[in-house]
Amino acid sequence: MVAFWIIAVISIAVILTFTVLGYVSRSGQPIGIVDGRLAPCLISPNCISSEDKTDTKHYIAPI
């Protein structure tokens, strides 16, 4: 009986964890393709883009 409760608590914790992670991931700015183009860079210094020449902070010449 104790094993059942341990498994139940762990299962509920896993479900809650993935539910919270799913909710948090939807609240940010989309990454990837937006309107047929790459999403613009955020303020992050490790983001680069070869599409938007007006963003001088993140622009890099295409290879």
Q: Is 62 part of any domain?
A: no
- Assigned domain for 14 exists: yes
| pTM over 0.95, yes/no | no
pLDDT of 10 above 90: yes
Q: CA geometry: angle at 62 spanning 39 and 59, to 5°?
A: 55
pLDDT, average across residues 41-51: 85
Q: Which residues contact 31 (CB under 8 A, 6 or more apart)?
A: 39
| Residue 8 covered by a domain | yes
The count of domains in the chain is 1
Domain boundaries, position 11: 2-30
31 or 45, greater pLDDT:
45
Q: How many residues does the chain have?
A: 63
60 in a domain, yes or no? Answer: no
Identity of residue 8:
A
